[in-house]
Copies of this chain bind each other. A is one copy, B any other.
Amino acid sequence: MAKIVTFGEIMLRLQPEGYLRLLQANKLQATFAGAEANVAVSLANFGEDALFVTKLPDNPIGQAAANSLRMFGVNTDEIIRGGERLGIFFLEKGASQRPSLVIYDRNYSSIQKADKNDFNWAKIFEDANWFHFTGITPALSDSLAEICLDACKEAKKRNIYISCDLNYRNKLWSREKACEVMSRLCKYVDLCVANEEDAADVFGIASDGSDVNSGKLCEEGYKEVAKKLFDKFGFKYTAISLRTSINANNNKWAGLLYDGSNYFLSRRYDINIVDRVGGGDSFSAGLIYSLLNNYEPKDAIEFAVAASCLKHSIEGDFNHTTVDEVLALIKKGGAGRVKR
């Protein structure tokens, strides 16, 4: 059992039931979610020792966020308490031609306002094997960008493998700011994960022939992106998740892993979506698990894509999928016969 540290924000996710719009709802499903927390839960569900680091308000809402993690076996011992509030986002699930809608109310959160001295990285990284964060964390505030840098340096010092999902959010920072900060952080990163838009948004690296809004996507073009990313920062791996949006109910889903010499393109799945939020995070978790467990690159990317394919069939951001279930999908396919 490897120890993986993830660092970032966890938010209260409030969502109307079924396909109701926010304007129609008088009940909201309350779960907790955040890119790095999602990765931690998925890794805990895979049987790994996942430690999630954040700062939570010292009230029942903060406690509920922590409980949502330790319920699934995530280690919450290094979570700091204090600050004013937990970030919130409202999620309206899309259907057919109506896209899902996310409304963020995450400003002024405890983690956004966290201070450099809140986190003792030397202690946090004791016995750790892996450190994961995404581009959302440094985007939250200048202080957090600094803290991420601290963490990366401490991790590197200890020879801890570092992965980063670019995860660009244009409501949090500009492309320019993102490029500047992420460039500084990416120097420490071993595995860089991106979706089909991130590389363009953050580093201006684009593939030709793809048009995200139209749902068209040229897989070959992404090899070029993977290579450019790789070459720019000298990663050990770049991984790209390839989503083709047909509509809000149907997506195609695949992934690409590049190790500097070979491109490993996974099988592509036709997905009937239950909940696609957290899909990218489950892809990262799948990669971390499979690389940590010494899968061959081609098996690693298959594992990551199959794991995140299953995530799309699960409500909430968290990927409640076991290693056995992922392997069964890879081996037997997804014909969906009842398991009695």
Task: Point out residues on A near B: beta carbons under 8 Å.
Answer: 14, 18-31, 59-61, 63-64, 67-68, 70-73, 84-86, 88, 90, 92, 94-105, 107-108, 169-171, 212-215, 245-251, 269-274, 276-277, 306, 309-310, 312-316, 320-321, 325, 329, 332-340
Contacts and interface: CB of A to CB of B under 8 A. Distances in A.
B25 A336 contact: no
Contact of A313 (B26, B98, B306, B325): B98
A86 B101 CA distance: 17
A276 B338 contact: yes
A281 B85 CA distance: 27
B97 A85 contact: no
A100 B29 contact: no
B27 A245 contact: no
A107 B90 contact: no
A252 B127 CA distance: 52
B314 A98 contact: yes
A170 to B, nearest CB: 8
Query: What copy number does this chain have within its complex?
Result: 6
B60 A92 contact: yes
Interface centre among A21, A68, A312 (most CB of B within 10 A): A21
Contacts of A84: 107
B277 A250 contact: no
12 contacts: A20-B315, A22-B60, A23-B60, A26-B26, A26-B29, A28-B30, A60-B90, A61-B103, A88-B88, A96-B271, A96-B336, A97-B306
A165 B64 CA distance: 31
B64 A97 contact: no
A99 B312 contact: no
Contacts of A20: 315
Contact of A336 (B71, B85, B100): B100
B313 A245 contact: no
A281 to B, nearest CB: 13
A196 to B, nearest CB: 10
Contacts of A314: 19, 21, 24, 98
B335 A215 contact: yes
